Structure 1
Amino acid sequence: MALITLSKNPFFKERKPLAKVLVKMSNQFHIAASTYSRLASVFYLKIYHSCFNKNPACKDVTVLNVPKKFVYKQRNQQDFYSVGALHLENQPVQLLDSAKKNSRCYLRRFGK
């Protein structure tokens, strides 16, 4: 399973995404959100998964920038942004540190 979020912040850790959806690996997904801002916004699609970790507490994160041509200033949506078939093994990932300092995630991340 993977958690997909849509966010305005580029950081790996996410507290309040604009939208989120849980997806089985190799399945299609759709995600949409709306927000109010007078300034142009940049949005990020984040994929949280544990494909490369046997410990389910360890999460890898892939962050993709949503192109500006798919961010609309009005409610009428014109086109969808398709990320296509993503092969996560070819995407840059960041390992999220577990909340517990003695977890295998934490130890692997810091090489202890």
Structure 2
Amino acid sequence: MSAPLDVDGPAAPPRANGELVFSEPWESRAFGMAVSLHQAGLFTWPRFRSALIAHIAAWEAVPAEDKQWSYYQHWLAALEDVLADSGTVHADAVTTRAHTLAQRPSGHDHPHAH
């Protein structure tokens, strides 16, 4: 089972010369997590694609002066949605973990072993 990544359309990932483009390491990790979890059968690709399109559409509805584009922010939000909808993770756990990681200094996105 593979993820049918859209080449065109609102859910198409950023590409350059046909290759996927990631600006930050977390983007490739989020991409890989979604594809791997789909391949493991945790959600269908049409469900994920719909969630991604919904997040992009919501972003497009925000006034231009108030928004900044990040495809993989939408990708990650869609992944959170499908995992929360399926009961795989709880939305509160995602929010708590995101808050904890946001408090870390730049470059320290991994937990320290004690």
How would you bin the TM-score normalised by the shorter chain?
A: under 0.3
**TM-score by structure 2 length?**
0.25
**TM-score by structure 1 length?**
0.26
Which structure has the highest helix share of the two? Answer: 2
Which structure has the highest strand share of the two? Answer: 1
